[in-house]
């Protein structure tokens, strides 16, 4: 059985093709790049997806060596995300399903978790999900991925990107900040953890203020990473301790950061917990994670009726709103 999954929540139009054993046959994408100095303009990103969608689908089918007739299920990212972008993904999914294939709306955050579980040894982890728009500490309990801590304002990736945009680093600034940080020294910054929740935006404001006051860019990049990642490690360790779990899974676009991997790795080692990171190719938004989560939904509820409400976009759908039928 084959599922074609479409990702289109924000900057990336991705198409993945995955079989029911979890073999990834294709994972193609095209990424919208905002004009320098701007963040994502939703309508422009949606236009990018509209224009590039057919070609990405074609490429994915070609790489998998199949035609659309071989596809059994079509899944798409239904949320959370930017409504104009989500709509393009859903329209492509409806077109490909062509009223003859099962069509499944997938939660984007859950897809980031499931691709991590598929491609690592992770079984029952505390999940550190850090992407552009989302930052959550999650774990499975009683039928759902429950959220034990999260950002109170912007996501970690967006915090890094926002600083990067303001100091002219282009898009996406995350990897550039990581590189600059390697040659930086400590400067004092605020540290904001409230209970299990995190706040990044005020720290970004202070970083921009320090840059404008003449502090060295490398020093700000280093210190900003140290503070953001320490905040994450603190709440992750507390989640591990309270839940009594013995594994951490790092996933989402910011999982590509080697300093974050190192810091979480040290904490896990000290606690005797296992640490896994999603492979870098599948850290950022991608279609394979949507296809695999489509397969999981299908397998756990084969006879679900094709409900029109299930195949609509859900721009504000939270991770903990979705029932997880495939974990017992």
Tokens of 101: 């294939």
Nearer of residues 61 and 277 to ligand AMP, judged by Cβ? 277
Q: Which stretch binds Mg ion (CB under 5 A): 76-84, 114-122, 233-241, 283-291?
A: 283-291
Residue 285 interacting with Mg ion (CB under 5 A): yes
Burial level of 27, CB count in 10 A (0-12/13-18/19+)? Answer: buried
- The dihedral sign for the CA sequence 170, 172, 177, 179: negative
- Please provide the DSSP assignment of 172-236 as one string: -HHHHHHHHHTT---------EETTEE--HHHHHHHHHHHHTT--HHHHHHHHHHHHHHHHHHHH
CB of 285 to Mg ion, least distance (A): 4
Under rule CB under 5 A, residue 114 binds Mg ion:
no
Window 173-212: residues binding ligand AMP (CB under 6 A) = 173-175, 178
Assess 132 for contact with ligand AMP (CB under 6 A).
yes
Determine the interface stretch with ligand AMP among 18-26, 230-238, 247-255, 270-278 (rule: CB under 6 A): 247-255
Q: Which of 12, 27, 122, 131 binds Mg ion (CB under 5 A)?
A: 131
Rank residues 122 and 277 by Cβ distance to ligand AMP and give the closer one. 277
Q: How far is the CB of 298 from ligand AMP (least distance, A)?
A: 24
Say how far apart CA 117 and CA 75 lie, in whole Å. Answer: 19
Q: Which residues bind ligand AMP (CB under 6 A)?
A: 131-132, 157-158, 160-161, 172-175, 178, 252-254, 256-257, 284-285
């Amino acid at each position: 059985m084959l599922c074609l999954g479409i990702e289109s929540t924000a900057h990336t139009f991705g198409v993945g093709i995955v079989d029911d054993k979890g073999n990834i046959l294709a994972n193609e994408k095209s990424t919208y790049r905002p004009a320098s100095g701007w963040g994502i303009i939703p309508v422009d990103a949606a236009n990018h997806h509209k224009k590039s969608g057919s070609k990405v689908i074609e490429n994915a089918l070609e790489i998998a060596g199949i035609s659309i007739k071989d596809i059994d299920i079509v899944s798409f990212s239904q949320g959370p995300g930017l409504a104009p972008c989500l709509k393009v993904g859903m329209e492509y999914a409806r077109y490909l399903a062509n009223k003859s294939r099962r069509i499944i709306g997938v939660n984007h955050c859950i897809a980031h978790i499931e691709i991590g579980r598929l491609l690592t040894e992770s079984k029952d982890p505390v999940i550190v999900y850090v992407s552009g728009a989302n930052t959550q500490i999650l774990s499975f309990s009683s039928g759902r991925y429950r959220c034990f801590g999260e950002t109170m304002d912007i996501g970690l990736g967006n915090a890094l990107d926002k600083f990067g945009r303001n100091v002219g680093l282009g898009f996406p600034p995350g990897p550039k900040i990581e590189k600059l940080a390697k040659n930086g020294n400590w400067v004092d910054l605020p540290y904001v953890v409230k209970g299990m929740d995190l706040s990044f935006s005020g720290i970004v404001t202070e970083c921009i203020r320090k840059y404008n006051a003449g502090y060295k860019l490398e020093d700000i990049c280093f210190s900003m990473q140290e503070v953001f990642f320490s905040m994450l490690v603190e709440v992750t360790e507390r989640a591990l301790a309270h839940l009594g779990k013995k594994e951490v899974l790092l996933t989402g676009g910011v999982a590509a950061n080697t300093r974050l991997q190192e810091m979480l790795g040290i904490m896990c080692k000290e606690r005797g917990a296992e640490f896994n990171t999603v492979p870098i190719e599948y850290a950022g938004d991608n279609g394979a994670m949507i296809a695999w989560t489509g397969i999981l939904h299908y397998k756990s509820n084969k006879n679900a009726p094709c409900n029109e409400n299930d195949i609509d976009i859900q721009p504000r759908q939270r991770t903990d709103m979705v029932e997880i039928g495939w974990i017992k």
